[in-house]
Amino acid sequence: RDDLWVRDGKILDPEKLFFDEKASADIQLDCKGCIIAPGFIDVQINGGFGVDFSLATDDFKAGIDLVSQKILSHGVTSFCPTLVTSPPSVYHQVLPQIGVRNGGAQGAGILGAHLEGPFISKEKKGAHPEHCLRTFETGAFQDLLSTYGSLEHVRIVTLAPEMKRSSEVIRELTQRGICVSLGHSVANLSQAEEAVQHGATFITHLFNAMLP
């Protein structure tokens, strides 16, 4: 029920506009009761509209394009295609097909991949396939690299911080500019705090598949 003042693509402070500039709008638009809101950023979307991002298909890019187009009408302007726990072969095939691009009238922007697993807790796996779960105990970060194949367009990795050697993995990911998210975990408070001290900055579906 208020006016929104915009100049050169930026929202203005109407108080300064009114008292300092004493300006009036060049163009007035009646939004007819609609809501103006910032675009939503969906950081954990496993697919949609019949598309599953964890399926290695020949037309994977077409699926990404379809989701990108369709979610605009739901107010989402950018997103991270999210893969659930999968075998290494799936990551090796799918990740090179997830690029980064700006959004526009043709569809929502793609920020990069979110890898939810397979380095998560067996007790809190939820819908993730148990036979694909992995640990860091042997090679730590090298295990992660060989599992995913490439981290080029990866933006978020969800892992369980109580796993042995997770601290060094968190440090390595953070140094590469990848957001480490804690989730699907039986970590206690001190284990979670230690992960934060090593660079974790996010939580995947808070209070779901984790201890209180």
Mean pLDDT of 79-107: 96
Architecture of the domain spanning 40-203: Alpha-Beta Barrel (3.20)
| pLDDT score, position 37 | 86
More confident call, 203 vs 16: 203
pLDDT band at residue 138, thresholds of 50, 70 and 90?
A: confident
pLDDT over 90 (residue 212): no
Per-residue pLDDT at 125? 96
Give the global pTM: 0.89
Lowest mean pLDDT across 9-13, 52-56, 155-159, 190-194: 9-13
Is the pLDDT assigned to residue 36 strictly greater than 90? Answer: no
- List the chain domain ranges: 40-203
pLDDT at res. 39: 94
pLDDT reported for residue 165: 96
String of DSSP letters for the chain: -----EETTEE--HHHIIIII----SS----TTPPP-PPEEEEEE-EETTEETTS--TTHHHHHHHHHHHGGGGTEEEEEEEEPS--HHHHHHHGGG---B--BTTB-EE--EEEE-SSS-STT-TTS-GGG---STTTTHHHHHHHHS--TTEEEEEE-TTSTTHHHHHHHHHHTTPEEEE-SB---HHHHHHHHHTT--EESSTTSSB--
